[in-house]
Amino acid sequence: MRSASYIFLILLFCGSLHAQTNKDSLDVIQFSGVVVTSDEFGEMLPLPYTTVAIKGTDRGTYAEIDGFFSIAAHIGDTLVFSRIGFETVEHSVPDTLATKFYSWYQVMSKDDILLPEAVIFPWPSRDHYKIEFLALDVSNELRQRAQENLAEEILDRVQSAVAPDGDNTFELEQAKRQYEYQYAGQYKPQKIFDVVAWSQFIKAWKRGDFKRDKKKKK
């Protein structure tokens, strides 16, 4: 009789443990979807790099380049969609799911924030600015120095010595890629067949530019 009671208790414990395990496994779902936004024409476009975080936790992910995201969540969790320049949106996982997979199509709206205008002066007030402006030295010597500093040769030398910034580097890289894509799969044009280059060469030869270069070398 005592053995039968032990067996009954063990079976009851295993049953409750199995039920608890099934409940926990059903409580975790794979939350996937796509984050999009509308352009100026009303067309839907993917919104990459949108942060998808589970509210109240340190777990989260982000949307890929095509707007797709996927994260493991629990039923009842609240997911927060956020991105700079867009309104933050929250969405809760419903508790009526019958499967372990849940798909969602999240539309993000632009958030227009108008910052107040900030005018920065190197003087404490406008009155100080007027005093300093009227006291400026605009003599002929300073004017001549400014003209010399703004000469085309000086500006070209300074430009060649200063390293390109991020915008210039991006433009040069884009122009290089565009040139490569334009002649992809074919021979690039050769300067030997460039009529304009030949015309400039003949004019320089007639002017005697190459002769002057030889004299300088001597």
pLDDT for the residue numbered 22: 45
Find, among 205, 208, 157, the residue nearest to 216 by Cα.
208
Note the pLDDT tens digit of each residue in 116-144. Answer: 777 777 777 778 878 887 777 777 887 78
Place of tokens 């059903």: 26
Burial category of 53 from C-beta neighbours within 10 Å (exposed 0-12, middle 13-18, buried 19 and up): middle
In the predicted model, what is the mean pLDDT of the chain?
78
Within its chain, how far is the Cα of 162 from the centroid?
26
Tokens of 77: 């969790």
Q: Which carries the bigger pLDDT value, residue 127 or residue 216? A: 127
Note the pLDDT tens digit of each residue in 33-86. Answer: 999 998 888 889 999 999 999 999 999 999 999 999 999 999 889 999 999 889
Burial category of 60 from C-beta neighbours within 10 Å (exposed 0-12, middle 13-18, buried 19 and up): middle
88 pLDDT exceeds 50? yes
Tokens of 69: 């995201």
pLDDT for the residue numbered 27: 82
Number of neighbouring beta carbons within 10 Å of residue 38: 14
Q: How far apart are CA 69 and CA 82, in angstroms?
A: 13
pLDDT for the residue numbered 17: 42
2 pLDDT exceeds 80? no
Note the pLDDT tens digit of each residue in 148-189. Answer: 888 888 888 887 788 777 788 888 888 888 877 777 767 776
Kindly provide the b/e burial profile for residues 126-146, where b requires at least 16 CB atoms within 10 angstroms of the residue's own CB: eeeeeeeeeeeeeeeeeeeee
Judging by DSSP bridges, how do beta strands 101-108 and 28-38 pair with one another? parallel
Nearest 5°: the CA angle 5, 11, 16 is 125
Fold classification of 2-108 is: Immunoglobulin-like (2.60.40)
CATH 2.60.40.1120 maps onto the chain at 2-108
Q: How confident is the model at residue 203 (pLDDT cuts 50, 70, 90)?
A: confident
